[in-house]
C-alpha cells in the first residue's frame, strides 16, 4: 500500500472512530475470531472479483483498532491477500429474505406478473386508442414509427382504473425499497418481472436513488434518505481496485447491492452484506464521477427539507464531503477549471463520446461545490480547501457561461472565426474550425433561445444538446438568468424534438452512420434514437420541473407531465423510449424502472407545491457576483495587468490566470450585472 493510501485510510479510520449516535459498522478486538472468519470470506471475494463486502452484524459492537494498524501496515501484495475493509458489521437476520426487499421470490413480482397476464385482454383496446391519439405525421420515418408503435402498445394496464397514476407510482416506489438489517436504505434500479436478464438492475444506484430520495423527502419520510446517506458514506471509504490499481479516495460507488448470505455453521440464520460496485464490475469499468456529486446535493436537500442539520454536521459526514472535494479539486494537468473525466462517467455510462469535460459533470460539480460550501463547518485546516473551492466556483462559472454558451449570435461568431491565433487575447481561444459546425445545428438553432454545448476541448466543440447538463445548470444558476430563460425558450421551440411523445430526450440529435460507428464503437444498445443516443428518459421530468419552477415557467413542466401521463403507466414505467419522436418503448428498456416512477412523482409533488423545489435550487451566488464586480484591475488591459493586486487577489491567485484576460472579465461582470437585474 502506498503512503498516500495509508494516509487516506488513516483519515477514514479517524473519521469513523469519531462518529457518534449512529448504528454503523463496528468491530472490536474481542470479536477477532468472527472477524477473521469473515476476513477470509472477503479475501476470497477480492481475489476472484477485486471487490469486497461490508457485513452487518448486530453482534459486533465496536471497531477493531488493532486490526486497523495491521491493515495499514501490510504491503500491497499482502493487502490483496488479506482483508480489504477496516471495519465490518454483521447482521444476523433470521428472516433476511423478507427484509432484503430484493429477493426474487417476493410477492410483488408475482403480483406484477399477474397484472401482465390479466391485462393482456384489455391491451388491444388500449392499443387502438393509443394509435388514434397520435397526431398525423408527414415524415416517412415517423410514419414507419407510427406503424411500429401499434405493435408495442400491448403493455399491461393497471389492475384498477380507479387507482390514480400517482397512487400506483407510490405503490411501486415503496415496493422498490431495499432494506438492510431491517432499515430502508435505498431503492432497486428496476423491478421488471418480464426481464430475465437482470444485469445490475437489481442494485441500488446512487444516481437513480436521487429522485427516489427526493420523493420520500417531499413526502416527509426522511429515514430512508438518512440511511442512504450514511451507509453510502461508509462505502466511500472502501479500498477498491481494478487490476491492482485504486482510484482516488473519496470516490462513491455507482451502485451497491444488499446480499443475503448464509451464516457459516448455522443453517437457520443468514447475514446481510453490502456489496458496492465502484466501476470495477460495471460494463466498461467506468468510475462514476457523478455519484459523489449527487450525494452532496442530496445531503443538502435532506438538511433543508427535514430541518435535521445534525447529519451534515457529523464529523464523518464532514470528512466525506471533504474527501469528495479533494478528489475533484486535486491539481492535474488541466488548463481548464472544468472536471476532466472519461467517457461514461455519469448518467450516460457507456461510450458516447462525452469524455473530456462533459456538461453534465460540470453542472453537478458546480452544484456540489455550492452545496458543500453551504454545509462545511469552519474549522482549522480547511481554509485551503475552502479557498480552492471558491476559486473553482468563480472560474467554473466564468468558463461555462462564456465558452459553452451557444445561440444564434454565437453560432454566427463561430462561423466567422479566425483560426490559429497565438496570443493572450485570442478570440477563438480553443482554435475551433468553423467547418465543424454541423448542418443540423444551423437548421436547428432557433432564433430565440440557446443552450450550453455538451463538451469543450481544444479544437473541439460538441454541439449536441445534453438535457441533464442544461437543466441542472438552470437549477443551480451555473447559467445566468438570461441563459436560463434562453434554455427554456429553446425547449419550447424544439418541443417536438425534445419531448414529442414522451419527455425527455437525453440528448439531441442522435449519432448516426459512420459517426455512430466511430464514436460509440458500433454499440448496438446505443443505435440512433435509442437509449443514450437520443433516446427519451422519463426520469428527466423531475429535473425539468425543478428548472421550470426556478424560472417561474412551471407551465412547461406541467405540459410535459401531462404528456407522460398519457402512457407512462400503461407502458409500465419504462426506463427509456426509442425513435425520433419517442414513440416506442426502448428496445432493451427495463419496465418498472424506479427512477422513471420516482421522477414522475417528484415532478407531480413539486408542481403541487413549487416552493418545495428550494431544497434543490441554488440561486445566483452573490459572493461570486460581488467578487467579480469588486475586482478592480488597474492600468491597461493585457497579460501584465493580471499580475496586479486585485481587491480579491486571494480568490484569483490560483486560477491559472493566463487563460483569463481583463476584457473578458469586464464583459463578464457586465453580463452578470445585466442578467441579475432581469
| Closer residue to ligand GLC, CB minimum distance, 86 or 454 | 454
Q: 58-88 b/e with 16+ CB inside 10 Å = b? A: eebeebbeebbeebbebeeeebbebbbbbbb
Q: Is the peptide bond before 509 cis (omega within 30 degrees of 0)?
A: yes
> Cα–chain-centroid distance for residue 598?
14
Residue 349 binds ligand GLC, judged by CB under 6 A: yes
Those residues with Cβ within 8 angstroms of residue 193's Cβ, 6 or more apart along the chain or in another chain: 109, 110, 112, 113, 116, 591, 592
Select from 60-68, 204-212, 460-468, 511-519 the region that touches ligand GLC (CB under 6 A). Answer: 204-212
The three cell numbers locating residue 85: 475493509
Dihedral sign, Cα of residue 121, residue 126, residue 132, residue 134: negative
Name the one range near ligand GLC by CB under 6 A: 63-71, 83-91, 201-209, 373-381.
201-209
- The DSSP call for residue 243 is T
Q: Is 192 in the site for ligand GLC (CB under 6 A)?
A: no
Q: How far is CA 72 from the centre of its chain?
A: 32
Q: Does residue 189 bind ligand GLC (CB under 6 A)?
A: yes
Contact between 339 and ligand GLC per CB under 6 A: no
Asked if residues 556 and 487 have their Cβ atoms less than 8 Å apart, the reply is: no
Out of 112, 224, 328, 347, which residue is the one contacting ligand GLC (CB under 6 A)? 347
Query: Closer to ligand GLC at the Cβ: 187 or 312?
Result: 187
| Contact in structure between 312 and 373 (CB atoms under 8 Å) | no
Min separation Cβ 172 and ligand GLC, Å: 15
**Shortest Cβ distance from residue 203 to ligand GLC (Å)?**
8
Residues within window 208-267 making contact with ligand GLC, judged by CB under 6 A: 208
**Minimum distance between the CB of residue 597 and ligand GLC, rounded to whole angstroms?**
12
627 interacts with ligand GLC by CB under 6 A: no
Query: Closer CB to ligand GLC, residue 31 or residue 208?
Result: 208
Q: Contact between 489 and ligand GLC (CB under 6 A)? A: no
| In the complex, least distance from residue 301 CB atom to ligand GLC, rounded to whole angstroms | 19
Instruction: Kindly indicate which of the ranges 51-59, 73-81, 205-213, 363-371 contains the residues binding ligand GLC, using the contact rule CB under 6 A.
Output: 205-213
Q: d(Cα 397, Cα 370) in Å, to the nearest integer? A: 11
Question: Which cell numbers hold the place of 218?
Answer: 417531499
Q: How far apart are alpha carbons 167 and 231 in whole angstroms? A: 29
Q: Confirm or reject binding of residue 205 to ligand GLC (CB under 6 A).
A: yes
Closest distance to ligand GLC from the beta carbon of 127 (Å): 27
Site string for ligand GLC, 17-36 (x = CB under 6 A): --------------------
Contact pattern from residue 146 through residue 185 relative to ligand GLC, giving x for each residue in contact according to CB under 6 A and a dash for the rest: ----------------------------------------
Beta carbon nearer to ligand GLC, 355 or 656? 355
Q: 601-636: buried (b, 16+ CB within 10 Å) or exposed (e) per residue?
A: bbbbbbbeebebbebbbbebbeebbebbeebeeeee
CB 446 within 8 A of CB 493: yes
Q: How far is CA 91 from CA 95, 234, 273, 649, in A?
A: 11, 16, 8, 54
207 sits near ligand GLC (criterion: CB under 6 A): yes
Are 564 and 503 within 8 A, CB to CB?
yes
Write each residue from 299 to 338 as x if it is in contact with ligand GLC (CB under 6 A), else as -, in one continuous string.
Answer: ----------------------------------------
Smallest gap from residue 326 Cβ to ligand GLC (A): 25
* Region from 147-155, 200-208, 621-629, 649-657 binding ligand GLC, contact rule CB under 6 A: 200-208
Taking the complex as a whole, the smallest distance from the CB of residue 595 to ligand GLC amounts, in Å, to: 6
Distance set, CA 36 to CA 235, 238, 267 (Å)? 20, 18, 20
| Min CB(208)–ligand GLC separation in Å | 5
Dist CA 317 CA 373 (whole Å): 14
Query: Where on the chain is the footprint of ligand GLC (CB under 6 A)?
Result: 189, 205, 207-208, 347, 349
Amino acid at each position: 500500500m502506498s503512503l498516500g493510501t495509508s494516509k487516506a485510510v488513516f483519515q477514514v479510520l479517524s473519521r469513523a472512530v469519531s462518529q457518534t449516535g449512529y448504528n454503523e459498522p463496528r468491530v472490536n478486538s474481542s470479536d477477532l475470531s468472527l472477524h477473521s472468519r469473515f476476513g477470509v470470506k472477503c479475501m476470497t471475494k477480492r481475489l476472484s472479483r477485486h471487490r469486497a463486502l461490508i457485513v452487518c452484524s448486530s453482534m459486533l459492537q465496536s471497531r477493531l483498532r488493532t486490526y486497523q494498524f495491521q491493515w495499514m501496515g501490510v504491503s500491497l501484495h499482502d493487502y490483496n491477500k488479506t482483508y480489504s475493509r477496516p471495519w465490518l458489521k454483521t447482521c444476523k437476520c433470521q428472516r433476511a429474505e423478507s427484509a432484503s426487499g430484493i429477493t426474487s421470490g417476493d410477492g410483488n413480482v408475482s403480483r406484477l406478473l399477474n397484472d401482465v397476464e390479466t391485462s393482456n385482454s384489455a391491451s388491444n383496446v388500449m392499443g387502438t386508442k393509443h394509435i388514434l391519439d397520435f397526431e398525423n405525421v408527414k415524415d416517412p420515418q415517423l410514419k414507419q414509427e407510427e406503424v411500429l408503435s401499434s405493435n408495442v402498445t400491448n403493455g399491461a394496464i393497471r389492475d384498477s382504473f380507479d387507482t390514480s397514476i400517482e397512487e400506483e407510482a407510490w405503490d411501486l416506489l415503496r415496493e422498490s425499497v431495499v432494506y438492510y438489517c431491517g432499515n430502508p436504505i435505498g431503492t432497486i434500479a428496476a423491478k421488471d418481472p418480464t426481464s430475465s436478464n437482470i444485469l445490475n438492475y437489481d442494485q441500488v444506484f446512487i444516481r437513480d436513488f436521487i429522485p427516489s430520495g427526493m420523493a420520500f423527502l417531499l413526502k416527509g419520510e426522511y429515514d430512508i434518505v438518512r440511511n442512504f446517506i450514511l451507509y453510502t458514506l461508509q462505502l466511500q471509504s472502501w479500498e477498491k481496485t481494478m487490476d491492482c490499481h485504486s482510484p482516488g479516495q473519496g470516490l462513491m460507488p455507482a451502485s451497491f447491492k444488499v446480499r443475503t448470505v448464509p451464516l457459516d455453521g448455522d443453517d437457520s440464520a443468514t447475514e446481510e452484506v453490502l456489496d458496492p460496485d465502484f466501476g470495477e464490475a460495471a460494463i466498461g469499468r467506468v468510475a462514476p464521477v457523478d455519484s459523489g456529486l449527487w450525494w452532496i446535493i442530496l445531503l443538502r436537500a435532506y438538511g433543508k427539507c427535514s430541518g435535521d442539520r445534525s447529519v451534515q454536521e457529523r464529523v464523518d459526514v464532514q470528512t466525506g464531503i471533504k474527501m469528495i472535494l479533494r478528489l475533484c479539486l486535486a491539481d492535474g494537468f488541466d488548463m481548464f477549471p472544468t472536471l476532466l473525466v472519461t467517457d461514461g462517467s455519469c448518467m450516460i455510462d457507456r461510450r458516447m463520446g462525452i469524455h473530456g469535460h462533459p456538461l453534465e459533470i460540470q453542472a453537478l460539480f458546480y452544484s456540489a461545490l455550492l452545496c458543500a460550501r453551504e454545509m462545511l463547518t469552519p474549522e482549522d485546516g480547511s481554509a485551503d480547501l475552502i479557498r480552492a473551492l471558491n476559486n473553482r466556483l468563480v472560474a467554473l462559472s466564468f468558463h461555462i457561461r462564456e465558452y459553452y454558451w451557444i445561440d444564434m449570435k454565437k453560432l454566427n461568431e463561430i462561423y466567422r472565426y479566425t483560426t490559429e491565433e497565438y496570443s493572450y487575447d485570442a478570440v477563438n481561444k480553443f482554435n475551433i474550425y468553423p467547418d465543424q459546425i454541423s448542418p443540423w445545428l444551423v437548421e436547428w438553432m432557433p432564433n430565440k433561445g440557446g443552450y450550453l454545448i455538451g463538451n469543450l476541448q481544444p479544437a473541439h466543440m460538441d454541439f449536441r444538446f445534453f438535457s441533464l447538463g442544461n437543466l441542472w445548470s438552470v437549477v443551480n444558476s451555473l447559467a445566468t438568468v438570461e441563459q436560463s430563460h434562453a434554455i427554456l425558450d429553446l425547449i419550447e421551440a424544439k418541443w417536438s424534438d425534445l419531448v414529442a411523445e414522451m419527455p425527455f430526450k437525453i440528448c439531441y440529435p442522435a449519432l448516426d452512420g459512420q459517426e455512430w460507428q466511430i464514436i460509440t464503437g458500433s454499440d448496438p444498445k446505443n443505435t440512433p434514437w435509442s437509449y443514450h443516443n437520443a433516446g427519451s428518459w422519463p426520469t428527466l421530468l423531475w429535473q425539468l420541473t425543478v428548472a421550470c419552477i426556478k424560472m417561474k415557467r412551471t407551465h412547461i413542466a406541467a405540459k410535459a407531465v401531462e404528456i407522460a401521463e398519457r402512457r407512462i403507466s400503461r407502458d409500465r414505467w419504462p426506463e427509456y423510449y426509442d425513435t425520433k419522436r419517442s414513440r416506442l418503448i426502448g428496445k432493451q428498456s427495463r419496465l418498472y424502472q424506479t427512477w422513471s416512477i420516482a421522477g414522475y412523482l417528484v415532478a407531480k409533488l413539486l408542481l403541487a407545491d413549487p416552493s418545495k423545489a428550494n431544497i434543490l435550487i441554488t440561486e445566483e451566488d452573490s459572493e461570486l457576483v460581488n467578487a467579480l464586480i469588486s475586482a478592480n484591475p488597474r492600468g491597461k488591459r493585457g497579460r501584465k495587468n493580471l499580475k496586479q493586486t486585485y481587491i480579491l487577489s486571494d480568490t484569483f491567485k490560483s486560477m491559472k490566470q493566463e487563460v483569463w484576460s481583463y476584457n473578458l472579465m469586464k464583459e463578464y461582470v457586465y453580463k452578470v450585472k445585466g442578467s441579475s437585474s432581469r
